[in-house]
């Protein structure tokens, strides 16, 4: 560990805990060159900061910017950590989500489907990340106009979540809310 590394780690943690998207984007944008210089472009902390920057950009409403950043970091994560690493899979999920939110629903659907297969193989069908990704696929499919398929997928994932996570788990409640929304109006309620 270099003498500057603890400072960089502390800055990263502060950035994540802050909650202010604009501040987080600014801090990550300053932090990434420092991490790259001190730890290298392929260090896990550098890659994690790049991923978190992309997430903050997307959460701030810049879906195009998030897609651009995620398309840059996902291949690097896969190359350095492996295609089945948890961080690679999470970043791929964020890429699929942002693709859908910017309006490229068919690309998002295809990516979500591949990701669910990878998550099922690596983490299992009842892992929270697998189930949440299935929920996001369903909402994306519904937002793309296939309400019947969205309802079918959501019914399955609500039952799976209730069994695996519990009926009152936050993610189960979100999936149930999405199901109720699609059954009554067909409009997605991504939260």
Residue 6 predicted with pLDDT over 70: no
Tell me how crowded residue 132 is: count the other CB atoms within 10 A of its CB: 18
Report the C-alpha gap between 99 and 115 in whole angstroms.
14
Q: pLDDT per residue over 134-155, tens digit each?
A: 999 999 999 999 999 999 999 9
Angle ∠(13,2,54) on CA atoms, nearest 5 = 35
Domain boundaries, the chain: 1-102, 105-191
Work out the percent of the chain whose per-residue pLDDT is above 70. Answer: 87
Q: 120, 128 in Cβ contact below 8 A?
A: no
Burial class, 40, CB count within 10 angstroms (exposed 0-12 / middle 13-18 / buried 19+): exposed
Mean pLDDT of all residues in 8-14? 60
CATH superfamily of 1-102: Tetratricopeptide repeat domain (1.25.40.10)
- For residue 185, what pLDDT is reported? 77
Q: pLDDT per residue over 39-80, tens digit each?
A: 999 999 999 999 999 999 999 999 999 999 999 999 999 999
* Closest to 190 measured CA to CA, from 80, 97, 105: 97
- For residue 191, what pLDDT is reported? 43
Mean pLDDT of all residues in 112-137? 98
- For residue 5, what pLDDT is reported? 61
């Amino acid at each position: 560990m270099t003498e500057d590394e603890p400072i960089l780690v502390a800055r990263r943690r502060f950035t994540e805990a802050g909650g202010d998207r604009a501040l987080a984007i600014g801090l990550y944008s300053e932090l990434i060159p420092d991490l790259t210089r001190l730890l290298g472009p392929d260090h896990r902390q550098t890659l994690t900061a790049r991923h978190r920057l992309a997430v903050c950009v997307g959460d701030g409403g810049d879906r195009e910017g998030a897609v651009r950043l995620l398309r840059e970091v996902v291949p690097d994560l896969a190359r350095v950590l492996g295609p089945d690493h948890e961080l690679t899979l999470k970043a791929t999920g964020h890429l699929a989500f942002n693709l859908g939110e910017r309006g490229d629903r068919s690309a998002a659907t295809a990516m979500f489907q591949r990701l669910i297969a990878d998550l099922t193989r690596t983490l299992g069908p009842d892992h929270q990340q697998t189930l949440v990704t299935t929920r996001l696929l369903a909402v994306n499919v519904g937002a793309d106009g296939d309400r019947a398929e969205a309802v079918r997928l959501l019914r399955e994932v609500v039952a799976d979540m209730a069994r695996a996570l519990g009926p009152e788990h936050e993610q189960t409640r979100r999936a149930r809310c999405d199901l109720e929304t699609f059954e009554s109006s067909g409009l997605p309620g991504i939260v």
